Amino acid sequence: MQAREVIIAPLISEKSMAGTALQQYSFEVHRRATKTQIRQAIAEIFKVDVIKVNTVNVGGKQKNFARRGTRTSGMQPDWKKAIVTLKPGQKIELGGQNYFEQ
């Protein structure tokens, strides 16, 4: 699996922003990616040293939809989240901007 296939998107939320003070960054990753693959992908893409990787399998939520007068229900897909801890003094910037520290 290529590095760009392992890391899908960064997670920008209030909780993930609070983790940046501790050098922790959150990403949505491929469902079958291992901690080793995530560590190597982050190091390759962002040129940083990864100390620790924690992963969480997040279950999809059930949603109700109304379309043309009929109600249907469905499930959002399950996904995997990785919380990556970097070496002290290092940070990740996306597209020249540091979205994690605003």
Q: Does a structural domain hold residue 24? A: yes
Indicate the helix (H) or strand (E) that contains 3.
Answer: helix 3-6
pLDDT digits (tens, 9 = 90+) for 46-94: 999 999 999 999 999 999 988 888 998 999 999 999 999 999 999 888 7
CB 53 within 8 A of CB 39: yes
Domain range for 82: 3-86
Residue 51 domain-assigned?
yes
Question: Which helix (H) or strand (E) covers residue 38, if one does?
Answer: helix 35-46
Residues 6 or more apart in contact with residue 82 via CB below 8 angstroms: 26, 27, 28, 29, 33, 35, 38, 53, 54, 55, 56
CATH code, domain with 10: 3.30.70.330
Kindly report the average pLDDT of the chain as a whole number: 91
Nearest to 43 by CA among 82, 97, 80: 82
